[in-house]
């Protein structure tokens, strides 16, 4: 959790909700994580809930379904192929999206390439250099 959010959490949540959050066996609030720690958390997750466009795409690369906590997404392909559901900040929509995604097999077609772009680029550069 971002430090500014952490500072304001007890002020912005009613006391019962704040206590439930802190006592929950299902939620673990952790300090800000490095990029590599975030990637590892995403890789090991069952499902990802995020308002970040970058994390939406990372969830797709790790083949993890994604609940999108925004009213829209720039990665419409993820939603169109059923790997992500837009839920915004609506409680019922978030719960329904979560239940939908964990209770069905989600497909992850190669929408964004074959994950071998670096190899293809290297082949092209090598081929060019061999000719010149």
Residue 39 within any structural domain of the chain: no
What percent of the chain has a predicted confidence (pLDDT) above 70? Answer: 100
Q: In CATH, what number is assigned to the domain containing residue 58?
A: 3.40.50.2000
The answer to whether residue 3 scores a pLDDT higher than 90 is no
Indicate whether 64 and 7 sit together in one domain. Answer: no
User: 21 and 51 share a domain?
Assistant: no
Residue 106 near residue 65, CB atoms below 8 Å: yes
Answer yes or no: do 59 and 116 share one domain. Answer: yes
Looking at residue 54, what is its pLDDT?
A: 93
The mean predicted confidence, pLDDT, of the chain is 93
Please write the tens of the pLDDT for every residue from 55-107: 999 999 999 999 999 999 999 999 999 999 999 999 999 999 999 999 999 99
Distances in Å between the alpha carbon of 102 and those of 19, 41, 125? 27, 17, 43
Task: Give the pLDDT confidence of 41-52 residue by residue, as tens digits.
Answer: 999 999 999 999
- The reply to whether 24 falls in a domain is yes
Q: Which domain holds residue 5?
A: 1-32
Distance CA 68, CA 48 (A): 8
Structural tokens at position 15: 């006391």
């Amino acid at each position: 959790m971002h430090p500014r959010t952490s500072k304001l959490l007890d002020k912005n949540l009613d006391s019962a909700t704040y206590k439930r959050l802190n006592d929950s066996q299902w939620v673990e609030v952790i300090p800000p994580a490095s990029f590599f720690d975030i990637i590892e958390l995403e890789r090991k997750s069952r499902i990802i809930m995020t308002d970040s466009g970058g994390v939406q795409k990372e969830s797709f690369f790790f083949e993890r379904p994604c609940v999108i906590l925004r009213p829209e997404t720039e990665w419409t392909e993820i939603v169109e192929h059923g790997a992500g559901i837009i839920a915004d900040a609506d409680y019922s929509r978030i719960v329904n999206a979560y239940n939908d995604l964990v209770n069905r097999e989600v497909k992850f077609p190669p929408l964004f390439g074959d994950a071998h772009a670096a190899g293809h680029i290297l082949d092209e550069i090598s081929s060019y250099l061999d000719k010149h």
